[in-house]
Amino acid sequence: MTDPLPWLAPHRDTPFVGEVLVPGSKSLTNRVLILAALGDGPSVITRPLGSRDTNLMAAALTTLGATIERDGMTWTVTPARSTGADPVTVDCGLAGTVMRFVPLLAALGDAPVTFDGDEHARVRPMATTIATLRSLGVEVDDGGRGALPFTVHGSGRVPGGTVEVDASASSQFVSALLLVGARFEQGLDLRHTGGTLPSMPHIEMTVAELRRRGVRVDTDEPARWVVHPGTIDALDVEIEPDLSNAGVFIAGALVTGGEVRIRSWPRDTDQAGDAWRDIVPAFGGTVTPDGADLVFAAGPELTGVELDLHDVGELTPVIAAMAALATTPSRLTGVAHLRGHETDRLAALVTEINRLGGDAEELEDGLLIRPRPLHGDTFRTYDDHRMAHAAVVLGLRVPDLLVENVVTTIKTYPNFAPVWERLMTAPAKV
């Protein structure tokens, strides 16, 4: 879905003071959907995220034989009784979790499954998925491209055992294997062999969700995971609010000198977005628990930051927007792998911040941002929801900023633009 007309981002000269309950977590919803589809009985998911990425995941699992009944904010997932053998196609859109996780499930079935996605999905790193499947003895026809589209020819069983992956381009290659490892005949003994491993909280989330469903996962050695073969228990769960997406509202409060209450912030969570509790003080702001909520408030000055974002790379675009509006320079490192995200986020952020008159520079593994007065222009979003989030944060302080294709935010946040407009155009509270 694309918007033909650029959207004028709300701008304000007064502090934004408000509260928001963000929709459910993408990463949790898509893991819980997969584990429910592999479970030993039906599972009920409450407050799932209903966005493009999770709808694509639900459609993919349905294509592979699961049944998903939706009743408002409750989805009931019944695993496939038996999979057919007729060829089927899965649309991955631009969703990393669909393109990396679902091919491993396809390997467990009998039907040839062809995976494809958006134009840009065809350049996202997928060679590790293809190599992994082949090392597990699964036939993959990729026409020699090492990328989407490709067809997985499952044979109904995967012996499993020892597997080595280089997941330096994405933690999702590890999570994909862990999610299905218990269903391999010998389980899985997985080692990451690459130099760096990004997004560790996302891998920890995968392990935690497996353990909650009775799967034995040993993590005694760094970069090694042993998943014991066995069943995956069905489990009814409620999905936590998406803390990464909460970041755009937190940034809105910080760049306007205001305050935002994020409702129902989970006290104990595996989400990468929990890192906002540490990032906000680095920008000079404060974080105060209040009942089930967290209140994030601006400090006297929005100071620049030196942050290694290796573990929480998906927060980078919004942090970069805040950095461009700060009073001192910022250095963001540890995120070379962002070049393989929805777009090359390092190049995109430099181009778009500098289009507004900013001074951003690409580093080998991150960004250097020196604040400068910015002017309005059309901020390109490259079909990347988080580039749109960066744009609207900048628009709060930069007049006449137009956001190209703001609707791209439906990837992880239905209705984002109207919600943002309503909150950000509300009168200042006194």
Ligand X SMILES: O=C(O)C1=C[C@@H](OP(=O)(O)O)[C@@H](O)[C@H](O)C1
Q: SS3 of 257, please?
A: coil
Q: Is 245 among the residues that bind ligand X (CB under 6 A)?
A: no
| Share of the chain residues as helix, strand and coil, in percent rounded to the nearest 5 | 35, 20, 45
155 is annotated as contributing to ligand binding: no
User: Hey, what amino acid is at 21?
Assistant: L
How far is Cα 353 from Cα 373, in angstroms, rounded to an integer? 11
Which of 29, 97, 128, 330 forms a contact with ligand PEP (CB under 6 A)? Answer: 97
Q: Is 405 among the residues that bind ligand X (CB under 6 A)?
A: no
332-361 footprint of ligand PEP as x/- string (CB under 6 A): ---------xx-------------------
Q: Is 95 among the residues that bind ligand PEP (CB under 6 A)?
A: yes
Q: Is 170 among the residues that bind ligand X (CB under 6 A)?
A: yes
Kindly state the smallest distance separating residue 237's Cβ from ligand X, in Å.
16
Q: By the 8 A CB rule, do 165 and 189 touch?
A: no
335 versus 353: smaller Cβ distance to ligand PEP: 335
Question: Active site residue: 209, 240, 259, 314, which one?
Answer: 314
124 is annotated as contributing to ligand binding: yes
Kindly state the smallest distance separating residue 148's Cβ from ligand PEP, in Å.
13
Q: Cα-flanking dihedrals φ and ψ of residue 385, to 5°? A: -55, -40
Kindly state the smallest distance separating residue 173's Cβ from ligand PEP, in Å.
11
User: Does the annotation count 314 as an active-site position?
Assistant: yes
Kindly state the smallest distance separating residue 413's Cβ from ligand PEP, in Å.
10
Q: By the 8 A CB rule, do 37 and 104 touch?
A: no
411 is annotated as contributing to ligand binding: yes
How far is Cα 390 from Cα 248, in angstroms, rounded to an integer? 8
DSSP one-letter string for 325-382: TSSS-EEEES-GGGGGSSS-HHHHHHHHHHHTT-EEEEETTEEEEE-------EEP-T
Q: Is 96 among the residues that bind ligand PEP (CB under 6 A)?
A: yes
* Residue 199 CA neighbour count, 13 Å, CB half: 25
Give Cα separations from 136 to 24, 130, 154 (angstroms).
Answer: 34, 10, 11
Q: Is 242 among the residues that bind ligand X (CB under 6 A)?
A: no
135 is annotated as contributing to ligand binding: no
Partner interacting with residue 95 (select from ligand PEP, ligand X, none; CB below 5-8 Å by kind): ligand PEP
Q: Is 409 among the residues that bind ligand PEP (CB under 6 A)?
A: no
Cis peptide before 149 (omega within 30 of 0): yes
Alpha helices in 152-261 (DSSP H): 172-181, 200-212, 243-255
Which of 10, 17, 27, 254 forms a contact with ligand X (CB under 6 A)? Answer: 27
Q: By the 8 A CB rule, do 245 and 272 touch?
A: no
307-346 footprint of ligand X as x/- string (CB under 6 A): ------xx----------------------x---------
Annotated binding site for phosphoenolpyruvate: 26, 96, 124, 172, 345, 386, 411
Please give the residue ranges that form the binding site for ligand X (CB under 6 A).
27, 96-97, 170-172, 175, 198-199, 202, 313-314, 337
User: Which residues does the annotation mark as catalytic?
Assistant: 314
